Amino acid sequence: MPQISFAADIKPLFRTIDISHMTPFGVELDDYTYMSNPDNAKSVYETLSPHGAEPPSMPPGGPYWTPAQLALFAQWQKDGYQP
Ligand code: HEM
């Protein structure tokens, strides 16, 4: 399988409303430089993931990412944050 790319595979998973709500908080979901920082990618992944019986914290109220979308993001991290 080719490596997961931020521009082609990850960035399109964020909606316009996600990007516009989070940018003022300094969470730049559409910005490769921000997202390829491993600490930032980890925080974002955490907010998108369910925790036991708790639903994900982001986006508030959903729609939550599917297991397939979360797996894609995790693989992108594993692959070394390809642009
Ligand atoms: C480090 C990662 C993140 C942090 C710390 C964070 C934090 C926050 C906070 C504090 C708010 C405002 C309060 C609230 O409505 O709960 C908010 C709103 C929001 N966040 Fe995030 N967020 C993160 C990642 C994300 C991600 C990954 C998405 C979507 C994929 C997202 C989508 C949204 C949306 C759509 C809102 C506005 C909700 C509304 O006003 O109805 N956020 N976020």
Domains in the chain: boundaries? 6-78
Give the confidence band of 1 by pLDDT, cuts at 50, 70, 90: low
Q: Give the nearest ligand 1 atom to 13 CA.
A: 30
Indicate the pTM of the whole model.
0.95
Q: Which residues does ligand 1 sit against, CB inside 6 Å?
A: 14, 17-18, 21-22, 25, 27, 29, 43-44, 47-48, 58-60
Rounded Cα gap, residues 18 and 75, in angstroms: 21
Task: Give the max Cα distance, the chain.
Answer: 36
Nearest CA to ligand 1 atom 36: 21
Ligand 1 center to residue 59 CA distance, Å? 5
| Per-residue pLDDT tens over the stretch 49-83 | 999 999 999 999 999 999 999 999 999 999 999 99
Q: Which tens digit of pLDDT belongs to each residue from 19-28?
A: 999 999 999 9
* Contact predicate 6/73, CB 8 Å: no
